[in-house]
Structures are given as C-alpha cells and as structure tokens.
Amino acid sequence: MTNFRILILIIVIGLNSCAEKKDKAELKEVESKKKVDNEKYDRFWITYEYPNNFSEKVEVYISKENDTIINQVINLKNGIIDSTKSRFFKFNLVKSEKPDTYSGIFKFYSDYDSNPNNINKEKTLSLSIFQKSRDSSYYQTFESKVSNEVEFELVNYESDQLVGIMSELRFIQFFDENGKDMLNVITTELAVDNKPKTHNIGIEIYELNKKR
C-alpha cells in the first residue's frame, strides 16, 4: 500500500512538473508575441529605377496605422552615389568588454557637404540612443563638433538592437542678392535603427512622423 502511494505521488509530481514547463513555454510565447506586437514600425528600403541609369533608394518606416515616414535617401547615377542629392548614415557596432555594452562609430553623409564652402562651417552632430540597462532605461546623447562622425556606446542587456535619433545642427554663412552677410540655420533629424521592426519612440518625440 505504501509503494502504491509513493507511485501516485511520483506521478502527481511528474504531471505538475510537465504542466509547469508548459505554462512557462506558453508564457514565453505570449511575451514574445507581445514584444512583436509592440514593435510599431516596419523599416525597409525601396529602390526606384529611372531612365538614363538613375536610381533612388529610400528608407521608409511604416506604422501599424499605415503612416509612411521617409528617412534616408540615396540617389545614384550609374551605381555611384550622387552626394548632392543624398542624405544617409552608416554605423558599426562591436561588442565591448563591458557587460551588455557595444561600441560604435556613426557617420552622417549630408547633401550640404557637397558644397565645399559648407564643409567647415559650424555644425554639431548629435546621436541620442535609447539605452536599456538591467535596472533602468534612458536616453543618452553623444555629440561631435565640426565633424560628420561621432563615437558612441550602446547599452542593451537584451540584444544588440539600437534605437535612436540623429540630429545635425548646421550654420551656413552666405550673402544675399544685396551682398548682405546672412546666416542660414539648418536642422536635419533622422531615425536610427538596425532592426527591421522597431518601436522608435524618438519618431514621436521629435515629431518625425509630422515632418515627412
């Protein structure tokens, strides 16, 4: 009788263990689905082909409400980038020795730099990144002066996903038709992501969805 009770107890423990594993698996699946559902934007590139070997590559963000945001733009002639009509960036990420941290260099290519008179004018390049440490989430801004490059660090304990906003403030000096010395202030803002699905809240904060 005692052996029978022990057998019943083992079976009950086994069933509870299986049920617990199933619950955990289902919970993980639900959490994964919620994460995907929370990714508000799909991000991808569209290529437009035109006559005479012209083409245009456009990075777009499509929201769940089907709003379209045009972000980076690259124009090409015979496969070569036309810097006078392009506005884009490149960056790299390398795993750091620090836990949950990646190091990177961000470079912005501006159509305004195609004019040699504008290159050395006063400008500030800022990269604001959404950081996710194990105990807090926050925005951190990295800046460089009179340069198209900025070094940065990404903190993300979950993955190497980068979510941020690039902003360039540029002052261009020129003379009007009357020869008067003038100053043109130009701000360029772009969303920065490295995953095809994202919830880049900077798009709403900087109102990029209303400017495009």
Query: What residues make up the domain containing 1?
Result: 1-31
Which pLDDT score, from 0 to 100, does residue 121 have?
A: 65
37 found inside a domain:
no
25 and 110 together in one domain:
no
Same domain (yes/no): 26, 101 = no
CA nearest to 140, candidates 150, 154, 151: 154
Do residues 111 and 88 make contact, with C-beta atoms less than 8 angstroms apart? no
Q: What percent of the chain has pLDDT over 90?
A: 62
CATH of the domain at 97: 2.60.40
27 and 99 share a domain? no
10 Å Cβ neighbour count for 124? 15
In total, how many domains does the chain have? 2
Q: Is residue 77 part of a domain?
A: no
Residues 111, 24: one domain? no
Judging by beta carbons within 10 Å of its beta carbon (0-12, 13-18, 19+), is residue 15 exposed, middle or buried? exposed
Name the nearest CA neighbour of 59 among 51, 207, 69, 80.
69
Which stretch of 10-24, 33-47, 186-200 has the lowest confidence by average pLDDT? 10-24
Residue 117: inside a domain: yes
Q: Could you tell me if residue 63 is inside a domain?
A: no
Range with the lowest mean pLDDT among 6-10, 35-39, 67-71, 80-84? 6-10
For residue 61, being part of any structural domain is answered with no
**Statement: residue 107 has pLDDT above 90:** yes
Report pLDDT for 179. 82
Residues 94, 27, single domain; the answer is: no
Q: Is residue 162 part of a domain?
A: yes
pTM of the model: 0.79
Structural domain includes residue 9: yes
Q: 94 and 194: one domain?
A: yes
CA distances from 152 to 10, 103, 109, 112 (A): 55, 6, 17, 24
Asked if residue 195 belongs to a domain, the reply is yes
Lowest mean pLDDT among 12-16, 33-37, 120-124, 198-202: 33-37
What's the pLDDT band for 169 if we cut at 50, 70, 90?
Answer: very high
